[in-house]
Structure 1
Amino acid sequence: MNTDVVITCAVTGSGATQDKHPDLPKTPAQIADSAVEAAKAGAAIVHIHVREDDGTPCRDPKKFKEVCDRVRDSGVDVVLNLTAGMGGDLTLGPPEDPMAISQAETDMAPWSERLDHVRECLPEICTLDCGTMNFGNGNYIMTNTPPMLRALAKGMQDIGVKPEVEVFDTGHLWLAKQLHAEGLLSDPPLFQLCLGIPYGAEANTTAMKAMADMMPANANWSGFGISRMQMPMVAQAVLLGGNVRVGLEDNLYLDRGVFATNAQLVARARQIIELMGARVCTPEEARQKFALKKLV
């Protein structure tokens, strides 16, 4: 069991949730304010995506910069974790014509462009989605080939930002361990177990334990489950020696039929952790634990 737990709050995500939650953070000001509120509630790390003002996901470096500046100017200490997953989105055509690729839903960018906002903002952490997978029941494929990932990982090393390796299934973890063996993930590596997304690993004890058991010996890791499995996976991650992630990216509800805020989800996770006899780490403790560099 982990008795010193880092909470990450994933503030808004890039899913089509803008019409499912009345107060989902969308603008840079709303995302930054929600991140600060989550930090005050106990989140040591905030994981940031950005959106257009109408809620449409985007990867505009100016919006990332505005969010980061607002959080930093707030006077509230929190570790910044920016997504670098955008730009690996491929939506094929229907089964009878798969090469009729949806231009509106496809966003495949050169690896270097996917790190433009990371170079601009210099967060302590950015994400590395370590694999390709079916993502839901449609024709969308999260696309990250081994050559893409090697280029992204080396780019993150050159910038000096710690990659948080997002693993959605055991094969992703296998590939991540290969990148680590090649020296492309600096020690100690940092992993996030992303459970419950169709069709990666399910959000259950068996899957989380199997993946935790596959970690390199010196790895730090967090884990989460989506939707109603968010809080059960908080307890499970702590019991297995990991850290936790909650937030509106992964779950919109505090209780059945009750929309949540990010701060409320962090407070609920903190309550679970403390009732288990563990404690919640501060941002500075998280930096020490995960070997993070505060570049700004």
Structure 2
Amino acid sequence: MSRPVILTCALTGAGDTTGKSEHVPVTPEQIAADAIAAARAGASVVHIHVRDVETGQGSRDNALYREVVRLVGESDVDPVINLTAGMGGDLFVDPSNPTTHLPGTDLVSGLERLSHVEELRPEMCTIDCGSLNFGEGSQLYVSTPDMLREGAARIRELGVKPEMEIFDTGQLWFANVMVEEGLLAPPPLYQLCMGIPYGAPADTGLLHAMVNLLPEGAEFTSFALGRNQMKWVAQSVLLGGHVRVGLEDNLYLSKGVKATNAQLVERAAGIIGDLGETVATPDQARDILQIERNGGHR
């Protein structure tokens, strides 16, 4: 019997990709249109960042989230809405004077990162499970154990399902601690994020090892960046997990051919089917993750 696999589409992210592909959505209308197209192509879940409409850079503006959610909600599709709650953790330091914050820093408390989640009460939101040297230069992503425990507890109070973003093995360790402490409603959902410099490398052996560290009863999904994106769809399905694709992680359908979000979803859905499984409907995803249609835990 085939297994329903949750297919998430990460629509736009916050990276500096808008100048690299004309398909990366920026405005609330464009992001919502891509969410709707991805859902029509088979996405069970749409993962939403928003961007400043003037600069194209990532934003924490509640009004932008509100508009995207409204437009998707008024459409003829009903994907699970997963809002990022990772914005507000960026710290750029002067290497010669680390107490000095450089331009680009956007650092707020863990609870302030949940402002739009507090307002909109989506079915899901993310929680980034640790700090990380984020690429070259002097950028850090800051997410401390105290911030995480406080944020996880508040997310549970709000009745929102957290997707724990895991960028390295130490973050997986801490996520398991939060599960042991009862901070998350069952089943815990892990997103194994691979290939982001300098987190966990996109290595299939490492993915297998991380899956083996998950607690009993956990659900997981995984992704890798760029040309590894579709390989990770297959790897994740074969290991019993769910999958994520989208322009947040990869801009290309094939070498030199720029993709749309809907095209990436269609390609991933084909891989899932070729492996003998089915793509979960949004309601099947809700059942698997034990979330209510309008938020709240079962």
- TM (norm. structure 2) is 0.96
The CA deviation string for residues 168-199 of structure 1, in whole angstroms up to 9 with x for no partner, is: 11110100011111111111101100000011
Distance in 1 (CA, whole Å) between partners of 2:180 and 2:73 is 35
Could you say which residue in structure 1 is the equivalent of 2:20?
20
SS in 1 for 2:291: coil
1:27-106 equivalences in 2 (<5 Å): 27-53=27-53, 54-94=55-95, 96-102=96-102, 104-106=103-105
Distance in 2 (CA, whole Å) between partners of 1:91 and 1:100 is 8
Instruction: Determine if the alignment matches structure 1 residue 212 to structure 2 residue 211.
Output: yes
Contact kept in structure 2, 1:5 and 1:242, CA below 8 Å: yes
- The runs of 5 or more residues in structure 2 that have no matched partner are none
Deviation at 1:120, TM superposition (A): 1.4
Distance in 1 (CA, whole Å) between partners of 2:199 and 2:10 is 19
Could you say which residue in structure 1 is the equivalent of 2:283?
284
Code of the residue aligned with 2:17 in structure 1: it is: T
Could you say which residue in structure 1 is the equivalent of 2:221?
222
Code of the residue aligned with 1:93 in structure 2: it is: D
SS in 2 for 1:263: helix
SS in 2 for 1:99: strand
Contact kept in structure 2, 1:2 and 1:243, CA below 8 Å: no
The CA deviation string for residues 30-68 of structure 1, in whole angstroms up to 9 with x for no partner, is: 000000000000100000000011311101011001000
Pairwise CA RMSD of aligned residues? 1.2
Q: How many residue pairs were aligned?
A: 294
Query: Where has structure 1 moved over 6 Å in runs of 4 or more?
Result: none
Contact kept in structure 2, 1:2 and 1:241, CA below 8 Å: no
Deviation at 1:2, TM superposition (A): 7.8
Deviation at 1:278, TM superposition (A): 1.0
Could you say which residue in structure 2 is the equivalent of 1:7?
7
Distance in 2 (CA, whole Å) between partners of 1:231 and 1:182 is 35
Distance in 1 (CA, whole Å) between partners of 2:215 and 2:138 is 33
Code of the residue aligned with 1:44 in structure 2: it is: S
Deviation at 1:292, TM superposition (A): 1.2
Deviation at 1:275, TM superposition (A): 0.9
- TM (norm. structure 1) is 0.97
Distance in 2 (CA, whole Å) between partners of 1:240 and 1:276 is 12
Code of the residue aligned with 1:170 in structure 2: it is: T
Distance in 2 (CA, whole Å) between partners of 1:69 and 1:120 is 13
Contact kept in structure 1, 2:2 and 2:276, CA below 8 Å: no
SS in 1 for 2:215: coil
Could you say which residue in structure 2 is the equivalent of 1:188?
187
Contact kept in structure 2, 1:131 and 1:143, CA below 8 Å: yes
Distance in 2 (CA, whole Å) between partners of 1:14 and 1:197 is 14
SS in 1 for 2:201: coil
- The runs of 5 or more residues in structure 1 that have no matched partner are none
Could you say which residue in structure 2 is the equivalent of 1:236?
235
